């Protein structure tokens, strides 16, 4: 008639969960990076749209005495 279901192998299931967790973390990290780069680009475009000059970020070196 019907065969009884076989028990799942816990080792395979743990591996699959670990891989899915890694993929999820990579997607979230990529999304955060994309949002941050889009925000930086928007700031530059807003600055340029207002007719300003030197809209780039100016890095000031630390003064060491």
Structure tokens at 14: 């743990």
**pLDDT, tens only, 2-39:** 776 666 566 688 899 999 999 999 999 999 999 999 99
User: What pLDDT is recorded for position 55?
Assistant: 80
pLDDT at 51 over 70: yes
DSSP state, 24?
Answer: H
- Residues whose CB falls within 8 Å of the CB of residue 48, separated by 6 or more in sequence, listed in order: 55
Distance, in Å, from the CA atom of 11 to the CA atom of 21, rounded to the nearest integer, reads 15
Structure tokens at 5: 């279901």
């Amino acid at each position: 008639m019907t065969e009884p279901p076989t028990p799942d192998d816990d080792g395979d299931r743990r591996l699959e969960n670990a891989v899915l967790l890694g993929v999820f973390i990579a997607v979230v990290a990529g999304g955060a990076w994309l949002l941050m780069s889009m925000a930086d680009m928007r700031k530059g475009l807003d600055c340029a749209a207002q007719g300003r000059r030197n809209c780039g970020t100016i890095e000031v070196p630390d003064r060491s005495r």
